[in-house]
Chains A and B, each alone.
Chain A
Amino acid sequence: MNNYEPIIGLEVHVELSTRSKMFCSCSADYFGKESNTHTCPVCLGLPGALPVPNKAALENCMKLGLALGCKISDESRFERKNYFYPDLPKGYQISQYRWPLCKSGIVKVRNKIGEVREIRINRVHQEEDTGKLTHSGENTLIDYNRSGVPLVEIVTEPDFRDTEEIRDYAKKIQQICRYLGISNADMEKGDMRLEANVSVRKVTAGHPELVEGSLAHAGPTSVGDSSSTTRNDMLPPYRVELKNINSFRFMVAAVEYEIRRQIEALDKGERLIQETRGWNENKKQTYTQRVKEEANDYRYFADPDLTEMIVDSDSVKKTKEEMQELPVDKQKRFVASYGLSETQAIMLTDTREFADYFEEAVRVGKEYSLQPTKVANTLINKKFNRDEILPAKFVEMLVGEQEKGVLPDEELEKIIAQAITDNPQAVADYKKGKESSVQFLVGQVMKFTHGKADPNRAKELLTEKLSSRV
């Protein structure tokens, strides 16, 4: 039996939530709007119209690049990616190719066995979205409201080895976009789109079988300055692009299916080809969409309508300063300043709103000498609607409980465990269906705690514990 290693690269598109479009002043908010109402000569690609770049979008692209550890190019350019498609009004997409705004970043992800692995980011660049086609019967309708909406593309090197890494990576990108407030990064709404390049290679006695000189993964997107030639030189001679999959779950399923399919094919001695595949959810299979004889030739060249973008170190510094604190940094700070565990810090920084809530509660709680760890524990363990209870109110409740001498959950749980061990008969009775045994155990807990426990909470936790001990 041969050992294979998956080689996966990701291309993620994120639509920025700027007020206006990338190159004109039309509103970029197209979701649910009447077709072709957010259009002008520029985003309709009318003869004579010219693009003018949206500075806010470029700043957001730069922020995302910085968040992903990229270097900001002091000189970058917009370029034209030429191809014909009805949703592309100019016959080219304004994008970036040889001179992207951000290059060479690193994102750390966890794999299936919990190890931290580094994924290299080849580039983060700015481009524009296309219009939207709707096929109805014989006809195809085009809505140009989306045409020209700012889009950022994040391209990784082929560094992913399992789908857990992909899951973690996509979640991190989404989280960072939301933290930075640059996009909702909602896959279902199309704010965030994933494409995966999947191939597998044989691993013999710990050494992957190398195909020398093959650059199957170094497609047009990684021509930039790839610092990874040594690794790229050893890639399989084909790659399968998984495209047009608009759900994260389906993407993971498709990648897993592809890995299995490719390994089986190679084991049978079949030759795999360069192709684009989609996902059939009913059959739970990938299927061929387009077989590429040769790479697409997009005839990229610098867009003469747009001047070179010069970014000096001062404006990079300024952007960095204006940037929201990123999840990783927040986590580190929470551990250092509040004495939280790493797990707690990760949970509390899940969203910026949650982290802000926590910090506000800590700030208010300080006046009552409430420990940050106490705030953290309660926030993580107690599920309640944070929109309804403001941090100050939450602290008030917490302090109230403490003043009443109410035992915190973790101590209460210890006592409950003790009561269960000490009263096997009552436990057995409960299991037989004698509900009133719980009341007896609650009484025991109250006795142990000298009345300091909240009897309702004690009953809740007891019932939970007893039902789980099947």
Chain B
Amino acid sequence: MTHKNMEITELTLTQILKALEEKEFSEEELNSAYVKRAQVLNAGLNAYVTVLEPYEGIPAAIKDVIVTKDVKTTAGSKILENFLPPYSATVIDKLESHNVSVLGKTNCDEFAMGSSGENSAYGVTHNPWDTGKVPGGSSSGSAAAVSGDMCVFALGSDTGGSIRQPASFCGVVGLKPTYGLISRYGLIAYASSLDCVGPIAKSVEDAGQVLEWISGPDGKDSNCSKSFTFSREKIKDGIKGLRVGVPKEYLGEGLEEGVKETIKSALSKLESLGAELIYVDLPHSEYAIAAYYIIATSEASSNLARLDGIRFGGNRDLFGAEVKRRIMLGTFSLSVGYYDDYFARAAKVRTLIIKDFEKAFKKCDIIAGPVSPTVAWNIGAKVNDPLAMYLSDIYTVPANLAGIPGISVPAGFSDGLPVGLQFLGPKWSEEKLLQVAYNYEQSAEWNKQKPNLTVSP
């Protein structure tokens, strides 16, 4: 065992499952190690809104937009400050049936609206690699918790990049699955047609394990009915001859030089593993951000209407500025006289983006590119420029509009900060997606690097 000398909290989920089986340590030891580390580091990172003290099971961190029975679920909002859900999300039930315990609820941008983790009513989460930087968002706390070894793995939600981008900024693996692969029942909705629950993990294999646990049809979610088979063993097959598409649009203007170089060397690495690189076109990518912000805010304006302070929660004046901004944008886009020019037109763009991907996937098996045009920025740098913030989602949003899966894998560093490599695949192609991600990860081993966090006794 190579990990005999390692801290329990440094182990991956895969390693922990094996170690537990071999009785190298007990579940209680496992939990107490994580609880201690989470409690200590949270003071500086603010990754958790709530830390529980489980003593058995695999301790996982759950984004606070996923409801947990009798455990406060805030969605990062003041309006739900005292909300105790009377039920658990399907993904929580599924995890619990696989001996996973909820270690805590993680901080996030309010109602998952944000790309930096700064929109939480419970304060900004700090990037474990540099606490002066944002962790990315909206699954800010989940990514930071995994990165800081404050949990074995985490669940996040991805509506426009909210799993992949913070995973990229924090140097961990983040998977946004095919829309409809994982039940949304119990995920507090931001934009229902785009929202996906997914794992944030220490390795690709870990992400695959969690995916296996939480995916599959759910009678409580009308959009989650397809049965799905996924073999974790298959992802270890080699990728010789795999056609990897590189969209020209993803390596153009706006991409930071350091990120570009990192991605380019990652692409060469794939080539050296036997993959064939092909340039592909995604011509409607430039309209994706505009379409996304119309569709997402429109759905959000309706989804957040239930927060009326009557049955639960506080008054609507407790919504933060970004949430109010998006409710107004969405309300406007759906109004009579604007619907056709905004919502209906955005829906047409969405169709074009779906077709772009369908065409591209005729030429390649998997698409590769950057997750974000930049690495993590300074806390506060973009808070007064919502448009600049919105543009940071440019490479992640198209996958949500198309409903296809995407994964962010650590690909190196730029200015000392993690850079994520993104793979995108056709719908239901998780096996292939994880296969290429696994092969890349194993060859590069960037995930072995850990941020320098000191836990003073």
Contact = CB atoms under 8 A, between A and B. Distances in A.
A36 to B, nearest CB: 10
Contacts of A142: 310
Interface in B169-193: 184-189, 191-193
A418 interface: no
Interface stretch (A38-46, A367-375, A378-386): A38-46
B37 to A, nearest CB: 29
B223 interface: yes
Interface string B297-308: 011011011111
Given A82-B334, A297-B336, A301-B334, A47 B310 contact: no
Given A304-B193, A305-B192, A307-B222, A46 B185 contact: no
Interface residues of B, number: 42
A51 B222 contact: yes
Nearest to B192: A304
Contacts of A51: 222
A47 B307 contact: yes
A53 B223 CA distance: 11
A448 interface: no
Contacts of B192: 303-305
Contacts of A86: 308, 310
A270 to B, nearest CB: 29
Interface residues of A, number: 30
A125 interface: no
Contacts of B334: 82, 299-301
A84 B308 contact: yes
B306 A80 contact: no
Contacts, number: 99
A51 B222 CA distance: 7
Interface stretch (A12-20, A88-96, A206-214): A88-96
Interface in A7-51: 41, 44-51
B187 A304 contact: no
A307 B188 CA distance: 19
B343 A50 contact: no
Contact of A47 (B67, B219, B220, B223): B67
Max count, chain A CB within 10 A of own CB: residue among B192, B304, B305: B305
A89 B303 CA distance: 11
Interface in B338-352: 339, 343
A306 interface: yes
A142 B219 CA distance: 29
A47 B305 contact: no
Interface in A70-87: 80, 82, 84, 86
B335 A47 contact: no
Contact of B311 (A46, A53, A300, A305): A46
B305 A82 contact: yes
Contacts of A116: none
Interface string A300-328: 11011111000000000000000000000
Nearest to A44: B311
Contact of B335 (A41, A297, A307): A297
A306 B222 contact: yes
A88 to B, nearest CB: 9
A311 B225 CA distance: 18
Interface of B: 66-67, 73, 75, 80, 83, 85-87, 89, 184-189, 191-193, 219-223, 298-299, 301-302, 304-308, 310-312, 331, 334-336, 339, 343
5 contacts: A48-B85, A48-B89, A86-B308, A91-B307, A142-B310
Interface of A: 41, 44-53, 80, 82, 84, 86, 89-92, 142, 295, 297, 299-301, 303-307
- 6 nearest CB pairs, A to B: A91-B305, A304-B193, A299-B334, A304-B192, A48-B186, A47-B188
